[in-house]
Amino acid sequence: MTRLFTYQSDGNIEKHRVIHAEHEQAQALLDSGKAVKLDIPELQRLEQKADELRTTYRANVDRIRKSDNPLLQDEKVQKYELDKLEKEYRAKTAEVEAEWKAYRAQQIEEAKIRAARAVIKVTDNDRAVAEQFKNRAALKLASASDKGVALSEIKNEINLLTDGQRVALQGEIAGLIGGIEGNATHKQAIISAVQDIRNSDLLAVKVAEQLPTSVLGKQRIDDIARRVVQDEASSALKGGGIDREFYEEHLKGKGAITR
C-alpha cells in the first residue's frame, strides 16, 4: 500500500485526502497528477518500532505457553509471567504512542504557521499567461459547437498551469466563466480547477491533520479480537454450548492473544 495525498477527486476518492492505495491505483493517480506520494519517515519509524515490540511480545508469550519448564506448568506461575510480559509490553508501546502523539501535535502546529505565512509569487509573466489564457478560452467557448467538450479541454489546460499562473488566473475568472451559460456544474468545474493551488505550505495543515492518531493499530486489533473471543467463549459457557475443557483445548490461546 502507498500513502498518497490527493490534489483532485477521482471517483469515490475525495480531494485533499490522505489515502492508502494499492500499487496500480496509486501509480494511476500519480501519473495523472491527481495525487502526490507521502513519505513520513517518523511515522514509518514508530510504526515499525511498535510492530517489533508486538512481534517480540507474541513470541515471548508463545515461548512461555509452550515451555517444558516444570515451573511454568503451574497455571498461577504461568499467569504471573504472562501478566508481567504484558505489563512490560504495554509500557513500552505506550512510550512509542506518546512519542508519536507529540510529533503529530508538533507537525500540526508547524503546518498552521507555514500555511499562515505561505506566499505564492506571481510574476508579470504569470499575469500575461493568465490574461492570454482567459482570452483564448473565451474564444474557444464562443466558437465551440459542443460546450461540454470545450470546457473539458479548458479544465485540462488549467491543470497544466503553475500555481503562480493559476493565482493570476483567479483575477480573470469572471471573464472566463462569463461565457459559460446555464450549467452551474460546468462553472464550478472551472472554478475548482483555477483554485487547485498545490503549494505545499498551504496544504500542510490538511496533510498534518490527517496523520494517523495512533501507531498501535495492530495492538488495538489484538485487543478487540481478545475481547470478542472472551465474550463469545463466556456466552457459550453460560449457554452450555461448550464446556471448559473444550475451551481450554481448542480456543484459549488460538489466533489473537486471548489471555
Q: What is the Cα–Cα distance from 20 to 37, expressed in whole angstroms?
A: 10
| Residue 162, C-alpha cell as written in the block | 503553475
CA 238 to chain centre: 42
Tell me the mean pLDDT in the region 68-87. 85
Find the mean pLDDT for residues 199-211: 93
| pLDDT range class, residue 234, cuts 50, 70, 90 | low
Q: What confidence tier does 254 reach under pLDDT thresholds 50, 70, 90?
A: very low
Q: What is the mean pLDDT of the chain?
A: 86
Of the residues 198, 230, 246, the one at which a domain ends:
198
The C-alpha atoms of residue 82 and residue 76 are separated, in whole angstroms, by 10
Domain that holds residue 231: 216-259
Question: Angle at CA 117, nearest 5°, toward 206 and 127?
Answer: 95
When comparing pLDDT for 71 and 213, which is higher?
A: 213
Pair (177, 222) in one structural domain: no
Q: Are 192 and 143 found together in one domain?
A: yes
Using alpha carbons, list the distances in angstroms from residue 134 to 59, 187, 188: 65, 14, 16
Whole-number pLDDT of residue 189: 83
Whether 208 is covered by a domain: the verdict is no
Q: Tell whether 169 is covered by a domain.
A: yes
**Residue 212 grid cell:** 494517523
Return the minimum-mean-pLDDT range out of 111-115, 226-230, 246-250.
246-250
Provide the pLDDT confidence category of residue 248 given band limits of 50, 70 and 90: low
- Side chain identity at 140, as an amino acid letter? K
Number of domains in the chain: 4
pLDDT at 236: 60
Tell me the longest C-alpha to C-alpha distance in the chain.
91
Q: Which residues of 6-45 are buried (b: 16+ CB within 10 A; e: fewer)?
A: bbbebeebeeeebbebeeebbeebeeeebbbebebeebee
Q: Are residues 34 and 49 in the same domain?
A: no
More confident residue, 152 or 233: 152
Q: Of the residues 103, 118, 133, which one is the last residue of a structural domain?
A: 118
211 lies in a domain? no
Using the 3D structure, point to which of 151, 170, 198 is the last residue of a domain: 198
